[in-house]
């Protein structure tokens, strides 16, 4: 049996590849556990600053493995569905989408922070066609990120739309040509690497958690998260680099 999720270090970037092309990268329990481990790896290693999630074989993910569902197997770990829906990495994640990102595949994108998608990629929530609801975060994350009625149309019709449709409504950050999503996502990640990694992680975490805060709560709750960046070695390095008129050498701590 091939490894369900592959990880590859490219400098400070961790490329995470869903590796079940024979099943259109659908998730069973073993796949969720492998993704959970990939998230743990990204969180644990100081010299990994950003993750890029993609799929093998020209597609992102067709969602849940319905054969596994039929045998009452749930693709859920302590991090939630697919090993990351509830608690993805605390570091920025970029989804690199080719082919289909549907059902749990779209919910996987919604668990990431940025999305790069091939022009001909198709995305949607087809769960209603199987008389189930999209309980991997799609039904509450999607209407927070695109207009209510557009999210409702996608959820209630179960239809698929191409990447440019989602870019029009602000869900997809960048459009790539066919076969170039991963390359462009890595390029996007490299653009972010000029910034302090502890500040990237803190900024991502505050935005991620802010959906659960009132404005009044946010002032106090952001403070301990931001402090990780303010107190980091990287902040002192950033100030030194500015004074010395050179590029900072980030350590991720």
Same domain? 22 vs 115: yes
Is 107 assigned a catalytic role?
A: yes
Q: Assess contact for 212 and 87: CB atoms under 8 A.
A: no
pLDDT tens column, 134-156: 999 999 999 999 999 999 999 99
The confidence score (pLDDT) of residue 1 equals: 47
Backbone angles phi, psi at 13, to 5 degrees: -110, 135
The confidence score (pLDDT) of residue 70 equals: 87
Q: Assess contact for 119 and 177: CB atoms under 8 A.
A: yes
How many domains does the chain fold into? 2
Query: Which CA distances in Å does 14 have to 152, 187, 195, 216?
Result: 34, 13, 17, 36
CATH number of the domain at 22, please.
3.90.226.10
**Residue 251 located in a structural domain:** no
**Residue 86 located in a structural domain:** yes
Is 127 assigned a catalytic role?
A: yes
pLDDT tens column, 185-210: 999 999 999 999 999 999 999 999 99
Same domain? 174 vs 63: yes
Residue 240: partners with Cβ closer than 8 Å, 6 or more residues away: 248
**Residue 38: domain span:** 5-193
Q: Of residues 3, 73, 98, 107, which has the active-site annotation? A: 107
Q: Of residues 22, 73, 98, 127, which has the active-site annotation? A: 127
The confidence score (pLDDT) of residue 244 equals: 86
Low pLDDT (below 70) residues in the chain: 1-2
The confidence score (pLDDT) of residue 239 equals: 87
Same domain? 204 vs 154: no
Rounded CA-CA distance 108/66 in Å is 17
Domain termination residue (choose one: 178, 193, 208): 193
């Amino acid at each position: 049996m091939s490894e369900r999720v592959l990880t590859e270090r490219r400098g400070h970037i961790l490329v995470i590849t869903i590796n079940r092309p024979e099943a259109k990268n659908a998730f069973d329990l073993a796949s969720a556990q492998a993704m959970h481990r990939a998230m743990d790896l990204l969180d644990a290693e100081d010299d990994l600053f950003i993750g890029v999630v993609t799929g093998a074989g020209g597609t992102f993910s067709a969602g849940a493995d319905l054969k596994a569902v039929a045998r009452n197997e749930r693709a859920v770990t302590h991090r939630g569905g697919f090993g990351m829906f509830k608690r993805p990495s605390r570091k920025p994640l970029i989804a690199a989408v080719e082919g289909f990102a549907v059902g749990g595949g779209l919910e996987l994108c919604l668990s990431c922070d940025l999305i790069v998608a091939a022009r001909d990629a198709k995305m949607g929530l087809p769960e209603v066609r199987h008389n189930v609801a999209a309980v991997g975060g799609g039904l509450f994350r999607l209407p927070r990120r695109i207009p209510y009625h557009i999210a409702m149309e996608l959820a209630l019709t179960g239809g698929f739309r191409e990447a440019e449709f989602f870019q029009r409504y602000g869900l997809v950050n960048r459009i790539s040509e066919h076969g170039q999503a991963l390359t462009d996502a890595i390029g996007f990640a490299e653009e972010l690497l000029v910034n302090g990694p502890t500040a990237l992680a803190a900024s991502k975490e505050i935005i991620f958690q802010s959906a659960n805060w009132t404005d009044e709560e946010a002032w106090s709750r952001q403070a301990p998260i931001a402090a990780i960046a303010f107190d980091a070695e990287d902040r002192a390095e950033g100030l030194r680099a500015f004074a010395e008129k050179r590029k900072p050498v980030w350590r991720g701590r």
